[in-house]
Each structure stands twice: as C-alpha cells, then as structure tokens.
Amino acid sequence: MSRGHRTRAAAAVAMTAAAALLLGGCGSGASDHAKDTASPSRTAAGATGTPPDASGSPSGTPSDSASPESGAGQPNSAADAPKVPDAQLTPPGGGNFTAQQKKYLSGRVPRGTDPVAVLEGGQEICDRLTRTSAIDKDAAASAIVSGDITLDGASAAVGGLCPDQQGVVDAARGGFGDGTFTVGAKAAPGTVVVPGGYRAPHTSASCTWRVTGAGGAVLASGRGTGADSPAALTIPAAARGITSSGCYAWLASARTGS
C-alpha cells in the first residue's frame, strides 16, 4: 500500500462516527431498478482499512465505472464512447426511469452499457454523501477533497440525484488534500490553491504543513496536535507553494476566491 493510501486510511479510521453510520450500507430506494449493493468496504471511506480509489470505491471495486466522469481525460475511456440517446434510456427489464434518474443518465451511458449500473454508481455516491453528512458534513466534503469521491462524480450525482447535498459539494470546492501545490490567484483542483484561511477537520497524528514563498523561503509551518484533531492554516498572498502531509483534506474556512 502506498504512503498516500496509508495516510488516507489512517485519517478515515479516525472518523469513527461517520464510518459507523456508513457501515449501515442502507439503500436509498431511489429506483425500483437501482439496487443498493453497498458493503461496508464500499461505503465506509477506509473504515475497513481499504482506502477508496478516486472513483469513490475501494481499490479494485467497480463504482460508477461506466460514467463519463470516472474516465474523463483518458484515451478510449467511457467518457469518449458514443452514448445512448435519451429516448432509448430504459431499464433492460422493462419499465421507465423517473425524470430525476433520466436527468442523471442523460449523455452518461455508453452504448452497450446497462444504464442501471450507471445509475447505481451515481446513487451510491449520493448514499455515501447523505449518510456521512447526516453525522459530519465536514467528513463528507473531505471525502471529495481527498479524492475518495471525485469532484466531477459528486457534482454529477448531486446535480441529478440528490440536490439536497449541493452544500457538501460547494464546501469541497477550493479545498485541497495532502501533497504539494502552487499558490495562485485562481484555484485549479489538484494543482493550484488560492490564498486564504483553511481548516483540516480530521487529521492524523502526523499532520504537518509548510507554506513557502519566493525562493522557497518558509513563510509558515505547523503540525496537528493528535489523531483526528482539527488543524488550521492561513496561506498569505505572498505565498508561492503549500505542502501538506497527513492532514487528509483542507476546506476553505473563509472566502478564498474562485
């Protein structure tokens, strides 16, 4: 297991309240055709010691793999495949999808793919966000920031299937996870962070961060105070870079720009 996966797993295990709720694996009942097949290892972010991959599932477990956002930017991925026309979107066993389900599936189902499988992927994301945010909204947003659930996948699922979770997606935008980032005027997920205040709601005992300026000069640095303890930092306008390790996910604590 890579160091990044060990860090995310350790931080996720610390989120005991959220993990306990996720382990329930209850279904949403959003569709008679979309079955909730979630197991503890699929729904609890790292609760069983297996950190989810970027699609929102533990490594090696299919989740929304047929949806465009899961393969966006990859040659010959599902995102590039011809899609089933909206008029032909019907469950293989007969019947019809609801208007809300069709909204999510529109332009998202590659030809030859079971639309129910695609729908289940989106619904699983909604189920995870709903169950987690009911206990800890910061934990739900952190799962998106860290890449346990992709931002694109969460945005699509929330926009089409669970709009009540839009606040979680909004809270995740502009955040950043562990790694090294450039500081700039406009945020770019995974590469650029804007100046401002940030907080890490759930950290590991080894959480550390360092803000650098011109020439690599250290402008600020710090560390967490213990497992699952919150941490805070401020990235000044003069900063040029930020490095974080063991802190899992940073959420904007003040308006930091767009």
pLDDT in tens, 139-170: 999 999 999 999 999 999 999 999 999 999 99
pLDDT at 27: 38
On the question of pLDDT at 185 being above 60, the answer is: yes
On the question of pLDDT at 28 being above 50, the answer is: no
CA distances for 224 relative to 44, 153, 201, 229, 248, angstroms: 24, 30, 11, 7, 11
* Residue 93 pLDDT grade (very low, low, confident, very high; cuts 50, 70, 90): confident
16 CA to centre of own chain: 18
Token representation of residue 146: 């860290």
pLDDT at 254: 57
Q: Exposed, middle or buried by CB within 10 Å (0-12, 13-18, 19+), for 34?
A: buried
pTM score of the predicted model = 0.69
pLDDT tens digits, residue range 204-240? 989 999 999 999 999 999 998 877 789 999 999 999 9
For residue 207, give the DSSP letter.
-
The CA distance from 255 to 67, in Å, is: 32
pLDDT at 228: 75
